[in-house]
Amino acid sequence: MASIGTLIDSGRVVLRRQINDLLDFVYPPVCGLCGRPADSDDRLVCRSCWNLLTTIEEPFCLNCREFIQTGTVCRNCDENPLTVFSLGVYDDTLRSIIHDLKFSFLKPLGTTIGTQLSETIRDRWQHLKLDMIVPVPLHDSRLYARGFNQAEVIAREIARTLRIPCRPDVLAMTRRTRQQARLTAPQREINVRGAYAVTAPEAVQGKSILIVDDITTTGATLREITRVLKNTGAGRVAAAVAATVV
């Protein structure tokens, strides 16, 4: 026999569902970009706005920016090639999406980005034999101000879709850096140097790792994190980003 507690609980569930239905009726989920009805609650950008993205279908080399047609390693570069998967080019559409993800606390946008990125990675990830997904960490002060790390939202969705562990705990930002956007390419390299540390060295030993971030411009952050991971004994390292500045 159901207890009074469970009856009340189930009553609450029904009530909550009715309120949600009512809210959907009054405020149907709308596209974050154009304001037209969105496809669903967890996909906050409509199909026609997604179609505006300049998508990047193939992984590319962070060094020479050439697409990697076969396999997963750049054949042009002997030194420090890093394979990058990117959802698209950082144009107005992706800029709006990433801005909303960061500043309007619209986590479902991050999930949508992660799902789409997984599709790009899926074709090649078996070659990479990925062991773990690691989001680029935020400094504690910035994490505190924002409440969440947008790279981690994307990383968690990729990890869930590809069934690979997400390990935000293996890496930390140890020093607050200046905003990369205001710096020249050489300044960016200096700005991030020594700003990241591996916090669980035994966990990365010999492992194949995918680093995840929202945007890459010159690649300074991804290169620095790759350097730190490899110095700690990581195996293969690749990266996935929502947007690439070209």
At residue 170, the 3 state secondary structure works out as: helix
Specify whether the CB–CB gap between 214 and 242 falls below 8 A.
Answer: yes
At residue 68, the 3 state secondary structure works out as: coil
Give the shortest CB-26-to-Zn ion separation in angstroms.
Answer: 20
Query: Which residue, 6 or 104, has its beta carbon nearer to Zn ion?
Result: 104
What residues pair up with 172 in beta bridges, in sequence order? 197
At residue 102, the 3 state secondary structure works out as: helix
At residue 9, the 3 state secondary structure works out as: helix
Query: Which residue, 76 or 184, has its beta carbon nearer to Zn ion?
Result: 76
Query: Which residue, 20 or 76, has its beta carbon nearer to Zn ion?
Result: 76
Judged by the rule CB under 5 A, the positions of this chain that interact with Zn ion are 31, 33-34, 46, 49, 61, 63-64, 74, 76-77, 81
Q: How many CA atoms lie within 13 A of 219 on its CB side?
A: 20
Give the shortest CB-145-to-Zn ion separation in angstroms.
Answer: 29
Q: Which residue has the tokens 């505190």?
A: 144
Query: Which residue, 32 or 110, has its beta carbon nearer to Zn ion?
Result: 32
Q: What's the DSSP call for residue 245?
A: -
Give the shortest CB-167-to-Zn ion separation in angstroms.
Answer: 27
